[in-house]
Amino acid sequence: MKQIIKLTVNGIEEEKAVHTHHSLLEVLRDEFKLFGAREGCGIGMCGACTVLLDGQPISSCLLLAPLAEGKAIVTIEGLSDPGKLHPIQQAFIDHNAFQCSYCTPGFILSTKSLLEENPTPTVEQIRAYLAGNLCRCGSYYKIQEAVVDAAARLRGAK
């Protein structure tokens, strides 16, 4: 059964007719055509579906879409201003911090949340915070480099 819900995605509120059993991930991809969030496992284990909900990283595959009403949803597509990459995105590019890039949007959004909570994370803190984002290609070392660099850029040290 479909229900009309209002979702605020990347700053824009839109009404969508969704099945009440559909996840936020399905609605973002099928209705909003925002393909940055991906389904890697469907059970909240891999982090490929990470989006920010009121600033917090969540597994969008685990949240029923109607329960996201009234929250501010940010996807990777909404991270930067048009024509200008977010410093975290630029750091990932500069450090080649990806191979197939399936996990990359999830990593970038989790990194944003990490650096907001902790602008000067140690390597151990970075690894622990990002342990919920899996990278099958094994780009972890370059991702770590990118996060360390992004932290410096955001602190204005560079």
- Out of 16, 19, 127, 153, name the contact with another protein by CB under 8 A: 127
Residue 60 touches another protein, criterion: CB under 8 A: no
**DSSP state, 45?**
S
| Adjacent-strand bridge partners of 18 | 3
Is residue 139 within the footprint of another protein (CB under 8 A)? yes
- CB nearer another protein, residue 3 or residue 125: 125
CA 51 – CA 38 distance, rounded (Å): 10
Alpha-carbon 108 to chain mean position: 6
Residue 131 has, within 13 A of its CA and on its CB side, a CA count of 6
The answer to whether 137 contacts another protein (rule: CB under 8 A) is yes
Residue of the chain from 116, 131, 155, 158 that contacts another protein (CB under 8 A): 131
Contact characters 94-123, another protein, x per CB under 8 A = --x-xxxxx--------------------x
Return the DSSP state at 38.
Answer: -
Q: Please, what is the minimum distance in Å from the beta carbon of residue 39 to another protein?
A: 11
Separation between Cα atoms, residue 71 and residue 13, nearest integer Å: 10
Nearest distance from C-beta of residue 140 to another protein, angstroms = 5
Is residue 121 within 8 A of residue 129, CB to CB? The reply is yes
Q: Is 93 in the site for another protein (CB under 8 A)?
A: no
The string of DSSP codes covering 86-135 is: -HHHHHHHHTT--SS-SSHHHHHHHHHHHHHH-SS--HHHHHHHGGGS--
Q: Does 62 bind another protein (CB under 8 A)?
A: no
CB 42 → another protein: shortest distance, Å?
A: 8
Binding site for another protein (CB under 8 A): 40-43, 45-46, 96, 98-102, 123, 126-128, 130-134, 136-144
